[in-house]
Structure 1
């Protein structure tokens, strides 16, 4: 009898709870300004549908928000967590970005959501830490990045890989009339360089036979899966990890390869210290006065490899793609490079192509730097970044940010906002970054319109070195070759932490015929 009476009672209770939930959900959904959210699953269906075009989808949502350039959404529509762990404020408003990165820096650390997603890959390295742990690494790295020694070391590595490896591979492709994947070559070049700078090891991935490197394949897989951890509710990837299934199974396999490679690098440096970045960190002590553990050193080094390998190579890949599609810009670049070399090496054009441009010559390539900056505006190496709100806050545009939620700022979307960059925001125009006279590099007065190198206390330490490396490589390629896209090859974005091209950048090369008048333009 009791059991019979319990059934209608339970049904009544369930109906009451369900009704209460839908009343809450309808009220909650009306407060959100972003794309449609669903009961229970929030915006997850939209994320899944748009996972292969996530950056353009976010930019489209922000444009549809009107002048606000900010919207709010949630990944799970549940009471308690709906406005906390699963709540996202997405913005491309420069004032909001400045507020998060500089004005209220202490209120917006990486936070537990980001750190949990990245911990397996990056540990407590500089890109995944906050507070004293981050500050110690920042100070040590800042000392190194301001030294002439590091600049000279970078110059040696870059010029050697260009002259002895890159040109040889590209010359062979010209002779055999075959296409190359330029993105792959650039990734190999920057990987060899950053490994040399970080722990004095030359993996020689940019070799004539283009050997497959297990570390880079595993590293790419791990970063791609890590980004997906960020976009979906944490309970999903944690459950997959616990059960050892799905992408998390692949993640663990990739991490083993990455850790083995980095362990070997750390062990080698412990036996034979040098003046590279890893050796510098080996001399540091933690908060308790103890030497940093091998595991900590491994993660610290891996963070620098991530920064030095992916960001510059990805930027250069998009740069060459844009230049191929803008012949007038290409000609201006070649004219500037030849003019600088004519002034530094004389009129004999054979001397222009004997060695890569040195860093002093690269400093004079103003239009080239502007073209690279314009590339980074349109195709930032890191398209979105995420911050955790420690306390309740209100952004400059009036958006209320609840404590415990996430603020996402879309660097990719900023470039596509007419309210920020004007009606021609989608056009590739290096002149945006030049003075009126055209002879000086001039970033926008509002520095938070362009945060490809981050902003505030976390501004990229390697910004100047990155520009110099990119200019050296870009000049080396443009001076020697004309790039032609492979017919039918589609350039698409890859779902990853950095803005890779999904299918690479396949190009044919022709020898560059330098015009005599370019040599005398200096």
Structure 2
């Protein structure tokens, strides 16, 4: 109120003295108002990040571009778990950032219907995802969720997903790693390989095969540049720009096809061109043969569904959404996992010991050389409890999706007393939650897989979805969680059993500012074939 009174008095004074006011006087007045506003902001918002006049929180973001998630973590700790933010004036971005499990449960389950994805999120992703499952709400989302759950949990798809994953690991991934590990003379170190890039290629081919029934061919020894894959990666990264600037910046750029928006438009065109062609080709195959019974991918199952007549646009958006989810999440999780394993050889030794014991059940008398070509069964992957714990711990510290956003439909009050108005946003930071002592104890920042194991070491601890929101929570809990764990276990076990993955000396593992927790500088590694006895980490 005092600030408004002061501003009104200043405006009245300017009106009465307009003819005697110089440009210098105006500049000094505005500077004074700016400083005064900063002081008022600091006094009224003692705990959260600085919200600058006109620009809100935006000026602080570039200053923390290399530690953005750690910065948010520090701010949440200082603010007691929740703080207010706002973007550029008239940009419409305002709300709270939280890491409080009670607030998250309220948002994702208790009052689920009041916190949809919302128009803010959907508008920015609409060009790429259309009305796909990850960009929809209400009845549209419910129907796609029902279809995804029904198809992905069917015995047919579970078998298909395992077989495609197994073939891709053994016929392509391991062949690629073998070629790269053996590319140097015996007395020299093998060349470096960007493991993040390789894993992105693997998960991209894997999800395209499972969702589309098409192998893009990204994962071959020569690591080719695949137009569709490159366009998909560029489209997801360029979409992030729309979250960093107000609509009055990116919308005119889109209308005029300028800069990033022009590049985004072209990338989306390539993605949709590929997806549309795949849908049309599969429909033509259906018309020609009268059936797609020999195919088990999601696209074929949906086309052959006699109870629905899905449009080509629906099928395209459905599959593109699944590629977005399946490509980034597992590959990023595995990248951080291999980096952490490199940093913690004692964990690597325990993982190898568990794998060795599982292999011995099948071949109790064979030596290690006879085990090199082992292909793990679904049952053996399930029995890898310590590996499961290590992957869960890696995901806790480095969640594939570090932040999520929801939009307030109607005025509400969070459990911690924060009052929200219609149109506000709730951002919950999963990355920060892992680093809160109140949730995970004093060793919260340590990589300790044992926190996921019961005392007998044979059973897993089950944590609340809202404390460990890595796979989302509530009605939107990830339908592909089981698929993701099987995929990650297959890759991790198959690679670690054959190779010691050594990160480049001095490599900085810095999270990249994007919707997914990529490593900013990739993960350059060398692969050292294991030659020591079974169970050894050397």
Query: Do the two structures share a fold, i.e. TM-score over 0.5?
Result: yes
Deviation string 1:351-398 (CA, Å, 9 cap, x unpaired) is 432133121110000000000000100000000000000111111111
Deviates more, 1:185-194 or 1:271-280: 271-280
Question: Are 2:136 and 1:113 equivalent residues in the alignment?
Answer: no
Shift of the alpha carbon at 1:517? 7.0
Shift of the alpha carbon at 1:316? 0.5
Q: For 1:11 and 1:339, locate their aligned partners in 2 and report how far apart those are by CA, in whole Å.
A: 86
Q: For 1:31 and 1:86, locate their aligned partners in 2 and report how far apart those are by CA, in whole Å.
A: 20
Structure 2 vs 1, CA of residues 25 and 284 (structure 1 numbering), >3 Å: closer, same or farther? farther
**Pairs within 5 Å for 1:162-177:** 162-176=169-183, 177=190
Unaligned runs of at least 5 residues, structure 2: 1-13, 184-189, 287-291
Q: Match of 2:149, SS?
A: helix
**Pairs within 5 Å for 1:49-60:** 49-60=63-74
Please report the RMSD computed on the Cα atoms of aligned residues, expressed in angstroms: 2.6
Q: Contact 2:510–2:519 at 8 Å: present in 1 too?
A: yes
Q: Contact 1:339–1:518 at 8 Å: present in 2 too?
A: no
Deviation string 1:31-64 (CA, Å, 9 cap, x unpaired) is 5442111111111111233334322222221122
Structure 2 vs 1, CA of residues 518 and 346 (structure 1 numbering), >3 Å: closer, same or farther? farther
Partner of residue 309, structure 1: 327
Question: Are 2:210 and 1:197 equivalent residues in the alignment?
Answer: yes
1:249 corresponds, among 244, 253, 262, to 262
Partner of residue 71, structure 1: 83
Q: For 1:413 and 1:231, locate their aligned partners in 2 and report how far apart those are by CA, in whole Å.
A: 20
Structure 2 vs 1, CA of residues 54 and 265 (structure 1 numbering), >3 Å: closer, same or farther? farther
**Pairs within 5 Å for 1:348-387:** 348=366, 349-387=368-406
Structure 2 vs 1, CA of residues 279 and 38 (structure 1 numbering), >3 Å: closer, same or farther? same
Q: Contact 1:163–1:355 at 8 Å: present in 2 too?
A: no
Structure 2 vs 1, CA of residues 219 and 115 (structure 1 numbering), >3 Å: closer, same or farther? same
Q: Contact 2:303–2:310 at 8 Å: present in 1 too?
A: yes
Partner of residue 236, structure 2: 223
Shift of the alpha carbon at 1:293? 2.6
2:407 corresponds, among 368, 377, 388, to 388
Q: For 1:299 and 1:29, locate their aligned partners in 2 and report how far apart those are by CA, in whole Å.
A: 45
1:329 corresponds, among 326, 344, 347, to 347
Q: For 1:24 and 1:480, locate their aligned partners in 2 and report how far apart those are by CA, in whole Å.
A: 61
Shift of the alpha carbon at 1:507? 0.7
Structure 2 vs 1, CA of residues 243 and 436 (structure 1 numbering), >3 Å: closer, same or farther? same
Q: Contact 1:434–1:443 at 8 Å: present in 2 too?
A: no
Shift of the alpha carbon at 1:190? 1.2
**Pairs within 5 Å for 1:5-404:** 8=15, 32=45, 33-65=47-79, 68-77=80-89, 85-176=92-183, 177-273=190-286, 274=292, 275-282=296-303, 291-348=309-366, 349-404=368-423
Q: Match of 2:143, SS?
A: helix
Q: Contact 2:349–2:535 at 8 Å: present in 1 too?
A: no
Q: Match of 1:44, SS?
A: coil
Q: For 1:166 and 1:500, locate their aligned partners in 2 and report how far apart those are by CA, in whole Å.
A: 20
Unaligned runs of at least 5 residues, structure 1: 1-6
User: How many residues in Structure 1 have an aligned counterpart in Structure 2?
Assistant: 500
Q: Match of 1:449, SS?
A: coil
Q: For 1:367 and 1:490, locate their aligned partners in 2 and report how far apart those are by CA, in whole Å.
A: 27
Q: For 1:298 and 1:345, locate their aligned partners in 2 and report how far apart those are by CA, in whole Å.
A: 46
Shift of the alpha carbon at 1:276? 1.8
